[in-house]
Amino acid sequence: MTNTNRIINFSAGPAAIPESVLLEAQSNLFNYKGLGLSVMEMSHRSKAYDAIHNDAINDLKTLLNVPDNYRILFLQGGASMQFAMLPMNFAQHQPVDVIHTGSWTKKAIDELKKGYQYRVVASSEDQKFLGLPDASKISFNDDAAYTYMCSNNTIFGTQFKTFPTHSKRPLVVDMSSDILSRPLNVSDFGIIFAGAQKNIGPSGVTVVIIKDELLDTCHPDAPVFFNYTSHASANSLYNTPPTFGIYIAHLVFKRLLELGGLKEQEKQNTLKANCLYQAIDESSQFYCPVPKEDRSPMNVVFRHQDHNESIESAFISEAKAAGFDGLKGHRSVGGLRASIYNAQELAQIEQFSTFIREFSKKALVHSH
Amino acid sequence: MTNTNRIINFSAGPAAIPESVLLEAQSNLFNYKGLGLSVMEMSHRSKAYDAIHNDAINDLKTLLNVPDNYRILFLQGGASMQFAMLPMNFAQHQPVDVIHTGSWTKKAIDELKKGYQYRVVASSEDQKFLGLPDASKISFNDDAAYTYMCSNNTIFGTQFKTFPTHSKRPLVVDMSSDILSRPLNVSDFGIIFAGAQKNIGPSGVTVVIIKDELLDTCHPDAPVFFNYTSHASANSLYNTPPTFGIYIAHLVFKRLLELGGLKEQEKQNTLKANCLYQAIDESSQFYCPVPKEDRSPMNVVFRHQDHNESIESAFISEAKAAGFDGLKGHRSVGGLRASIYNAQELAQIEQFSTFIREFSKKALVHSH
C-alpha cells in the first residue's frame, strides 16, 4: 500500500486512473467549481457541460495531433459496439480485410459473420496469438471495404509496433488498450476507436476518431443511432452522452498535456515496460511467452516456468498482501498479467519488479 | 441556494441526484470502502464490483417487485439505442403497433422506418401532443410484433396514468422519464426500458427489464452486441458495463428502499406535482397547456399566458438568481419547464411555488 492506502492496481480494464484526476473529481463531485451541482446533474445542453465536452474534444485533438479533416466522437457501448457498427456503415457492399490477432479481432469477426463478407488477410492463430504477423508484409485487397486490426491485445500481451500503412483501403484500428500510450500519425488511419476504460477514464465512453471522407460513405440504411453521421453532425450530442465519463476523460487528457504529451508518455511507458520485462526475463520462476519484438508495453503477460498454477496463485496472494492487485491473467488463458497503462508510475513498476525478484529468490530456495 | 450552496436543479435530464447519494459517492471516490481503489478503477470481473452489480440488480428487483420470469439488464446507449435495438430483435417479420405521443415516439418511429413495418394505432399529434390518447380505448392488432409506447413525455409534460393492458401482444414501454416514480405491475409489460439520467442516476446507463419468453424470440441474425440474449446470458457482463454509473444507480435504489419504496415515492411525487401545478393554475401570468388528466408529475410544462418570451426569459433569469435552475423549455417547443423527479424534495417545490406566486404578483403590478 502507498501512503494514501491505495493499492497498486494492475487491472486490465477498468484500470487505474491517475490519483490527481480522482482527487480533482472527488473535490468537485458535490458542487462542481461552485456552480452548485455535480457534473452528473448537468443538462447535456447546458453551458457548463458544453465547456467540458468541447474542452475534452479539443484537448484530445491536441494530444493526438488530430488533423482538421477528422472528427472526434464520444460514443457509448465500448469496442464491442464498434465491432457491430462498423460493418453496418461500411461493409454493406464490400468485404472487410481482417488481421486476426486474438480474442478482440475474433469478436469483430463474429459480428462480420452476421451478414457481411470478410477475409482474414493475416493471422497469428498458428502461434496461439502469442506473437503478431509482420505488418509490413501483409497483402491487402484493393476492393476491401476497409482493413481491420487491433493494435494491442490485452489478453495475449502483444502490440503492433508499426501499422500496415501500405493498405490502399481505410485502416480501421481498435486501439482500446494502447491509445494515448504513444504518438500516432492520425493521417495513416481511416478510423481509430477505443473504449475508455484502459488509458482514458471510466468504462462507458468510447472515443472514435473518424476521417471526414468516411463519414460521407456511411450506409444510409444503417439505424439512425448506429450511423456515425448522426453523432458527427451533432458533435456527439445526438442523444445524451455519458457526461460524467467524458468529464473524467477530459481530466485525464488535461493531465497528459501537463505532463508533456504523448512523446513523454511513450518514454515513460518504455522505461516501465523495460523494467518489468527485465525482472521477468531474469526470474528463475517466471517467463514471458511473447517474443520481444511483439511484447506489449501495456499488458505484461507472464507465467510460471512450468505453468505451476499453485505457484501462480501463491504469487497473486502474496502480491495482493503487498499491495499489488489485479494480477490474474484473463480467464480465457490463465497465468499472470500486469497491465501498466499510463496511470501507473515508474516508481510503482520498480516496486513490483523488486517484488518479482524477491518472490523468485524465495521460491527458488523453497524448491531446493 | 440551499445552505450547501447547491442550486435547486429542475433540469429534464441529466437531472438532480439525491444529495445523500452524491455525498456517499464523494467520500468513496478515491478509496472505495477502504479497498484501496475507486469504483471506476475496479475490474468488472472483480469480487468488489460483482457485489455492486448484483446488489443493484437485486435492489431494483425489490423496488419494482420484478417477477422471477423477468431479467434486469444494465445496457448503454440510452433510450435512443433501444429505439434501434427493439426492431432488430423483434420486428423482423411482423409490424409494430405504435402509440405516438411526441418527440420520443417519433425517434422510435424514425428507427422503424429503417426497414421495418409499423402502424400508428393512436396518436395525439392532432393535439400537438399536449394531451394523450385514452389508453383504454385503443384498438390493437393481434398480429403485431409488439405494442410500443412512451409512458411520460418530458417535452410536452404528459404522462399515461394507466397502460393499455388489453393489447394481446407484448407491451414495450419507454419509461426513461418516470421509472421509479410510482409502483408498477411489471407482469403487464413485455419490456420496460429507461435511460438512467432522470430518475436513476448519471447518463450512460440504460435499464432494461425484459420478460424471459421475449428473450427466446430475439432474432438470431441481430448483431451479437445488439441481441438482448447476449447481455441476458452474461448478466450484463457480456462486455465492460458502465460500472461507475451502475454504482451510482445502486446508491439511488438503496436510498429509495430506505425511504419506503415506490408507494412512498408516488405519494411524494403527487404532493409535489399538486403543489406546483396549483401555483401555475392560480397564477395570473402562467398557464399549463396540458389538460389535468394527462399532466406529468415529472415534467411540469408551463408558459406565459400570452407566450410573451421576454417575460419567460425574465422569469428564468430571476429564478436562476434565486437558486432555481434548468427551467427553460425544450428547445423544440420553448416556454418553461420544471422537471421534478424523485430527487427533488417537497420543500424545494414549495419554495419554487412561492417564487412563482411572487413573480406573478410582481409582474401583474408591473403590467398595470
Which tens digit of pLDDT belongs to each residue from B178-215? Answer: 999 999 999 999 999 999 999 999 999 999 999 999 99
Give the residue numbers of B marked as catalytic: 104, 174, 198
Same-domain pairing of A343 and A267: yes
Confidence band, pLDDT 50/70/90 cuts, at residue B362: confident
- Residues of chain B in contact with residue A195, where contact means CB-CB under 8 angstroms, are 240
Domain end among A226, A242, A258: A258
- B30 to A4: CB separation less than 8 angstroms, yes or no: yes
Same-domain pairing of A86 and A191: yes
Cis amide linkage into residue B18, ω under 30° from 0: no
DSSP B221-252: TS-GGG-HHHHHHTTT-SS---HHHHHHHHHH
- The pLDDT, as a whole number, for residue B37 is 97
Same-domain pairing of A236 and A276: no
**Helix (H) / strand (E) containing A173:** strand A171-174
- B41 to A224: CB separation less than 8 angstroms, yes or no: no
Q: A234 in contact with B at a CB cutoff of 8 Å?
A: no
Domain end among A196, A229, A258: A258
When pLDDT is averaged across residues B222-239 and rounded to a whole number, the result is 98
DSSP B36-93: SS-GGGS-TTSHHHHHHHHHHHHHHHHHHT--TTEEEEEESSHHHHHHHHHHHHH-SS
- Tell me the three cell numbers of residue A179: 491509445
Confidence band, pLDDT 50/70/90 cuts, at residue A362: confident
Measure CA of the first residue to CA of the last residue in chain B; give whole Å: 31
Task: Provide the number of structural domains found in chain A.
Answer: 2
Check: CB of residue A166 under 8 Å from CB of residue A210: no
- The pLDDT, as a whole number, for residue A51 is 98
Amino acid at B226: F
Same-domain pairing of B120 and B32: yes
Same-domain pairing of A184 and A317: no
- The pLDDT, as a whole number, for residue B285 is 96
Same-domain pairing of A116 and A188: yes
When pLDDT is averaged across residues A358-365 and rounded to a whole number, the result is 84
pLDDT at A4 over 70: no
Chain A's closest residue to B11, CA to CA, is A43
- Residues of chain A in contact with residue B35, where contact means CB-CB under 8 angstroms, are 7
Confidence band, pLDDT 50/70/90 cuts, at residue A178: very high
Query: Is B50 domain-assigned?
Result: yes
Query: Is B137 domain-assigned?
Result: yes
- Tell me the three cell numbers of residue A86: 462498423
pLDDT at B261 over 50: yes
Domain end among B213, B242, B258: B258
pLDDT at A3 over 80: no
Model confidence pLDDT, tens digit, residues B268-282: 999 999 999 999 999
Same-domain pairing of B58 and B197: yes
Rounded distance between C-alpha atoms, residue A177 and residue A198, angstroms:
6
When pLDDT is averaged across residues A134-147 and rounded to a whole number, the result is 96
Place of cell 459496439: A81
Query: Residue B242: which of A4, A242, A325 has the nearest Cβ?
Result: A242
Same-domain pairing of B52 and B172: yes
Chain B's closest residue to A16, CA to CA, is B41
Confidence band, pLDDT 50/70/90 cuts, at residue B1: very low
Query: Is B7 domain-assigned?
Result: no
Report strand pairing: A152-153 vs A158-159: antiparallel
Window 291-320 of A, Cβ < 8 Å to B: none
Same-domain pairing of A32 and A168: yes
Query: Residue A244: which of B30, B202, B240 has the nearest Cβ?
Result: B202
- Tell me the three cell numbers of residue B282: 392560480
- The pLDDT, as a whole number, for residue A368 is 53
Boundaries of domain holding B64: 21-258
When pLDDT is averaged across residues A79-103 and rounded to a whole number, the result is 97
Please state the φ and ψ torsions of residue B302, each to the nearest 5 degrees: -150, 165
Query: Is B170 domain-assigned?
Result: yes
For chain B, give the longest Cα–Cα distance: 69
Query: Residue B225: which of A111, A205, A239 has the nearest Cβ?
Result: A111
With a pLDDT cut of 90, the percent of chain A lying above it is: 96
Model confidence pLDDT, tens digit, residues B339-354: 999 999 999 999 999 9
Q: B102 in contact with A at a CB cutoff of 8 Å?
A: no
Q: What is the CATH number of the domain that holds B267?
A: 3.90.1150.10
Per-chain mean pLDDT for chain A? 96
- Distance from the Cα of B130 to chain A's closest Cα (Å) equals 23
Query: Residue A203: which of B29, B38, B240 has the nearest Cβ?
Result: B240
Query: Is A10 domain-assigned?
Result: no
- The pLDDT, as a whole number, for residue B66 is 98
- The residue among A328, A320, A270 whose CA lies nearest residue A302 is A328
Please state the φ and ψ torsions of residue A339, each to the nearest 5 degrees: -90, 125
Query: Is A14 domain-assigned?
Result: no
- Distance from the Cα of A16 to chain B's closest Cα (Å) equals 5
Same-domain pairing of B252 and B272: no
Q: pTM for the whole thing? A: 0.97
Q: Could you tell me the CA-to-CA distances from A332 to A102, A329, A335, B42, B171 in Å, in that order?
A: 11, 8, 10, 19, 39
- A30 to B111: CB separation less than 8 angstroms, yes or no: no
- A80 to B203: CB separation less than 8 angstroms, yes or no: no
- The residue among B152, B101, B97 whose CA lies nearest residue B120 is B97
- Tell me the three cell numbers of residue B334: 420553448
When pLDDT is averaged across residues B236-255 and rounded to a whole number, the result is 98
The answer, yes or no, to whether ipTM is higher than 0.90 is yes
- B224 to A111: CB separation less than 8 angstroms, yes or no: yes
pLDDT at A64 over 90: yes
Model confidence pLDDT, tens digit, residues A275-330: 999 999 999 999 999 999 999 999 999 999 999 999 999 999 999 999 999 999 99
Residue of B198, B244, B327 best to disrupt the A interface, most CBs of A under 10 A: B244
Q: What is the CATH number of the domain that holds A147?
A: 3.40.640.10
Query: Is A214 domain-assigned?
Result: yes
Check: CB of residue B246 under 8 Å from CB of residue B253: no
- The pLDDT, as a whole number, for residue B4 is 67
Model confidence pLDDT, tens digit, residues A237-278: 999 999 999 999 999 999 999 999 999 999 999 999 999 999
Q: A78 in contact with B at a CB cutoff of 8 Å?
A: yes
Q: B83 in contact with A at a CB cutoff of 8 Å?
A: yes
State whether the Cα torsion A273-A277-A278-A280 is positive or negative: positive
Rounded distance between C-alpha atoms, residue B10 and residue A189, angstroms:
43
Same-domain pairing of B298 and B183: no
- The pLDDT, as a whole number, for residue B366 is 64
Query: Is B14 domain-assigned?
Result: no
Rounded distance between C-alpha atoms, residue B236 and residue B228, angstroms:
10
Check: CB of residue A189 under 8 Å from CB of residue A210: no
pLDDT at B363 over 90: no
With a pLDDT cut of 70, the percent of chain B lying above it is: 98
Packed helices B243-258 and A243-258: angle between N→C axes, nearest 10 degrees: 130
Confidence band, pLDDT 50/70/90 cuts, at residue A363: confident
Check: CB of residue A203 under 8 Å from CB of residue A14: yes
Cis amide linkage into residue B14, ω under 30° from 0: yes
- Residues of chain A in contact with residue B15, where contact means CB-CB under 8 angstroms, are 41
Same-domain pairing of A247 and A359: no
Residue of B30, B227, B252, B339 best to disrupt the A interface, most CBs of A under 10 A: B30
